[in-house]
Structure 1
Amino acid sequence: MDATQSGAQDVGKRHHILTRIWHWLNAIFATILLMSGLMIFNAHPQLYWGEFGARGDYAWLQIDDTRTTGFVRIGSARVETTGVLGLSLDSKDKVRRVAFPGWATIPTHYSLAAARRWHFAFAWLFALGLTAFMLGSLVNGHIRKGLHVRRAEWSVANIWKDIKNHTQLRFDQAHGTYNILQKLTYIGLIFVVLPTMILTGITMSPAMNAAWPWLLDLFGGRQSARSLHFIAATMLALFVVVHLLMVLLSGPIKGVRSMITGRHAATSEPGQVGERP
């Protein structure tokens, strides 16, 4: 009877130190960027397409209030969000007419100047961290070993199997590798969502427009870049929510420990699929 059949623990290397450092720094940077970004959005809680934006009539997304109720409008669809978005109460039960409430923003009180300072400072740290991680991952083989999608993984049967495992909260961790759904998610996040956030953020800077005017053409104007920046940030926030949910469902202690120590201990039982965030 081998170790797997007997239910013995299989301890192996899980995360490279570069990945672990980038993960925890990103947790800090992304939180500050999101909260300061929401305060910046509060200054003009409407999004447009194209080069210019002015009135709410032309906005594809609007978070506002009618003095008595808060609402979110996307296109022609409108939902009342009083108490959450558009109009809410602060800690002293005072009505606040802002898109996002103070507990979700940095700073908690309205200050566009302070929010911009927080956002710009950590945006550069975030961008430099992503660049260092991508270059380091090419050198240490993390991308090739961890995120490379093999030809056999593209089969419909394999993808459907992973979908069923996730819906049944069964996460394969036998060999410390990512499954096809996780690989596609991380590839999309690292190589599409995060670069889009960085480039659209740069596009909204007048100084960078002067240096790299082609960015405005690439994204279809400053307002389009702002919309894409907001959409990419929303996708990142949704990823974080799902990621934390998966960690909780698959064993938070083991998940956090492996991201701190870089080692992973899994117990495999006959006929069972192991847990892994």
Structure 2
Amino acid sequence: MNENTIDEDVRYPRTIFIRRHTLITRFTHWLNALCVSFLLLSGLQIFNAHPELYWGHYGADGDPAVLTIGSEGQKDETRGFVRIAGMQFATTGVLGVSNVDGERTPRAFPSWATIPSFQDLAAGRRWHFFFAWLFVFNGFLYLGFSLLSGHFRQDLAPTVRELSLRHLWHEVLDHARLRFPKGEEAKRYNALQKLTYLAVIIVLLPLMVLTGLTMSPGIDAAFPALVDVFGGRQSARTIHFVTASLLALFVVVHIAMVVLSGTWNNMRSMITGRYAIREEGPNS
């Protein structure tokens, strides 16, 4: 037998499959997606009941609002606007005014963006509270699993090298040019992913949950200091709206990156756990 004969004919480039996401990670991810969707749509329903945000302990028609989504004029002349810190922008047809049965109707967010589609504060609150608690319990499940399994330490904690400004700037440029990791680098999260996920998990989500609890009279009675932490219930409502908006922005960017970096491969990894890696040859 020729001594150069090998048992396996390995040809490059080749595609291999790795196990990227555990069952718990995949389950909590999709449950989070469901919860966030219903929370956002029901939250906009609640916001429509009084589409203004204030800062401090109190908020009423006579107090200056940080944000207002409203309308002015009557019937066919009704125009929608968004006012932020004194600056007003026309938003007719998008925010402030919606077309309902061919008529302009004052409404902060349109019917397609709320649950239920018609104005019903009580129903919106019921939807919101149910999925809020489900979201919290799911978050504790993910957090407990991540800590016990080492998922945080192994997959989400950035290394010292990854935290260097030079490395981060290089990754920013690669993302801007739509150059995504390949081969060995694609087997793990990059630094931007790690920092973004950690910011969402450690800062954004807890802040959103705590401000949501602060708006509850029952929680205020049990933990009155929580109101003071955020400077008042109206401040908590404003922070809650901002964090929810940032979370929605995160979801939009996340979906865009999933599509641009390989829709089917990313979806398969979050459904079955199998992620395809394209390996280059040893001399590549």
TM-score (norm 2): 0.91
Match of 2:231 in 1: 220
Letter in 1 for 2:65: A
Q: Deviations over 1:169-198 (max 9, x none)?
A: 112153421111111100000111111111
Which of these two proteins has the greater Rg computed from alpha carbons? 2
- Structure 2 CA distance, aligned partners of 1:203 and 1:77? 29
Structure 2 equivalent of residue 167 of structure 1: 176
Q: Quote the offset at 1:88 in angstroms.
A: 1.2
Per-residue deviation, 1:46 = 0.3
**Of 60, 68, 77, the match for 2:66:** 60
Cα deviation, 1:85-126, whole Å, max 9, x if unaligned, reads 000113x22322110000000000000000000001110000
Note if 1:184 corresponds to 2:195.
yes
CA contact (8 A) 1:147 1:178 kept: yes
Q: Matched residues in 2 for 1:162 and 1:194: separation? A: 25
Distance 1:223 1:182, change over 3 A: same
Distance 2:50 2:247 in 1: 21
Aligned length: 269
Maintained 8 Å contact 2:183/2:280: no
Name structure 2 gaps, 5 residues minimum: 1-8
Q: Alignment partner for residue 34 of structure 1, among 20, 36, 40?
A: 40
Q: Is the 8 A contact 2:96 2:108 kept in 1?
A: yes
The percent of aligned pairs where both chains have the same amino acid is 51
Give the unaligned 5+ runs of structure 1: 272-277
Letter of the aligned partner of 2:90 in structure 1?
E
In structure 1, the residue matched to 2:99 is 89
Distance 2:243 2:41 in 1: 15
Question: What amino acid is the match of 2:178?
Answer: L
Query: Aligned Cα RMSD in Å?
Result: 1.8
Aligned pair 1:255/2:266, yes or no?
A: yes
Matches within 5 A, 1:67-216: 67=73, 68-90=78-100, 92-175=101-184, 176-216=187-227
- Alpha-carbon contact 2:53-2:237 (below 8 Å) kept: yes
**Distance change in 2, residues 1:95/1:136 (3 Å):** same
SS of residue in 2 equivalent to 1:160: helix
Distance 1:24 1:143, change over 3 A: same
Which consecutive segments of 4 or more residues in structure 1 shift more than 6 A? none
Contact 1:5–1:268 under 8 Å retained in 2: no
Which has the higher mean CA deviation after the structures are superposed, 38-47 or 55-64? Answer: 55-64
Q: Which moved more, 1:57-66 or 1:110-119?
A: 57-66
